[in-house]
Amino acid sequence: MRYDNIIEAIGHTPLVRLNRIVRGFKGQYWAKCDHLNPGGSVKDRIGIAMVEDAERKGLLKPGGTIVEGTSGNTGMGLALVAVMRGYKCIFTMADKQSKEKRDLLKAMGADVIVCPTAVEHEDPRSYHSVAEKLAREIPNAYHPDQYSNMSNPEIHFRTTGPEIWEDSEGRITHFVCGVGTGGTITGVGRYLKSKNPKVRIIGADPAGSVLTEYFRTGKLGKGEPYKVEGIGQDYLPATLDFGTIDDMITVSDKDSFLWTRRLARNEGIFAGGSVGTAIGAMLAVAAGCTDDDFVVVLIPDSGSRYLSKVYNNEWMRENRYLEISLPLTAGEIVQSKSESGSRPALIAVAPSDSVSAALEKMQSYDFSQLPVFEEGRPAGAIYEDVILNLALEGKDLKKLVVREAMSEGFPVVHSSSAVDHIMNCITRDCPAVFVDLGNYKYEILTKYDLLHAIAHRLEQPA
């Protein structure tokens, strides 16, 4: 493909199948990869649309200044057009947005003004109000205002919607998308419903935003701060048409960030934190899907904008997003062991086996001890150093049976036992416990298994 300039390379992003994170759910799941736009986000589409609309209407004249309040991505979309067409850019941003986004806009030649996040939309210090004021005061300035500019939903009606419809060959049944200005969901939703009114349009909303409650009850609440960037609101933008939306699903900051990381590590899709909100909502939808369902989730922006946040373990820990949700039980650890494929069959010996056979088994598996099972139940354990002492005493290991050499067995815990109880049982002298899984089934757990399960749990959404 060849283009005359970078603006022409916007759109026609790929639809990529999701494989691992949707394992076990019926239906098929696809990611509309708008993070692969040249400016790294879905907002490239509205940057050019709003500028061309303003040029047509005579609102933006040669040499003019574009002033916009942005969470960063719209700024990047506008900056690309500004570079190509010779406009200046001033962006206002809330201080919660990542430093990477600020630096990116500066790299594109824009001026960036950082405003407080913790103020109301109408407060004169908010990034919306500051953008409005600057646009009034600066000569030849134009304020696109993505929150009220109808070229925002319209460009998604004209491009994103048709691309998804065509690439799904008209089979799409659900579209899931984070809601910020609502431009993407409104434009794509309107288009898809114009092709097939049965397509369900689902909005993903961060916990703390007022949108879901308003959608459900018609009441506009106060809202709470949240960390996910680019989506959710504390007011109703004009660009958001709830009439096109069938459901809104709320997802916590923690789940959003954990799903974002899992998307990168399981599907190779490196996206920003708002994608996790959409994935969390998509999986809630997936629980009710059938084999005929064709679900598309929108990937809004690239993960490179969030290396200091979502993808930074220290930041995740500071914000308590990487904490295990206890209680973690013996049964759950056994399950995590089997899911990770690190669960070999239980290796054991019988009391009537010869000690030399037990020693051979230990050596072939590189174990320093083996459990002894009698009639399907744990009866004791046999240790390498005990066998060594017997050999030094001149005993014939071939004639000696395990019953004569075995020591007390590992403690048996129930599958509902908590991790701290298991830890108390595991000592220097007792390296493992048995988990009684019922029906004469037992699993052995070592300190290594506990650590492995805890590490695995750190990456799981609550």
What is the binding site for ligand PMP (CB under 6 A)? 43, 71, 73, 178-185, 229-231, 272, 274, 300-301
Q: Output the smallest distance, CB 368 to ligand PMP, in A.
A: 52
Strands 200-206, 174-178: pairing is parallel
Q: Distance (Å, rounded) from C-alpha 204 to C-alpha 180?
A: 9
CB of 91 to ligand PMP, least distance (A): 13
Question: Minimal distance in Å, beta carbon 219 to ligand PMP?
Answer: 21
CB of 260 to ligand PMP, least distance (A): 10
43 among known catalytic residues: yes
Q: Of the two residues 53 and 443, which places its CB atom closer to ligand PMP in the complex?
A: 53
Number of H helices, E strands in the chain: 17, 15
Catalytic residue selected from 43, 193, 309, 337: 43
Nearer to ligand PMP, 173 or 184 (CB): 184
Q: Are 418 and 389 in contact (CB under 8 A)?
A: no
Are residues 402 and 358 in contact, defined by beta-carbon separation less than 8 angstroms?
Answer: yes
Identity of the residue, 173 or 274, whose beta carbon is nearer to ligand PMP in the bound complex = 274
Instruction: Tell me the residue number closest to ligand PMP, measured at CB.
Output: 230
346-351: list long-range contacts, CB under 8 Å, 24+ apart: 346/371, 346/442, 346/443, 346/444, 347/371, 348/372, 348/373, 349/373, 349/382, 349/402, 350/374, 350/402, 351/379, 351/380, 351/401, 351/402, 351/403, 351/406
Write the single-letter amino acid at 185.
I
What's the min distance (Å) between Cβ of 240 and ligand PMP? Answer: 7
Angle between the 330-339 and 447-458 helix axes, to the nearest 10 degrees?
80
What is the spatial distance between Cα 50 and Cα 132, in angstroms, rounded to a whole number?
Answer: 16
Rounded to the nearest whole angstrom, what is the least distance from the CB of residue 172 to ligand PMP in the complex? 18
Nearer of residues 274 and 417 to ligand PMP, judged by Cβ: 274
Question: 3-state class of 398 per DSSP?
Answer: coil
Q: Phi and psi for 65 in degrees, rounded to 5?
A: -115, 130
* Between 144 and 300, CB nearer to ligand PMP: 300
Q: Give 65 or 71: the residue with its C-beta nearer to ligand PMP.
A: 71
Which residues are known catalytic residues? 43
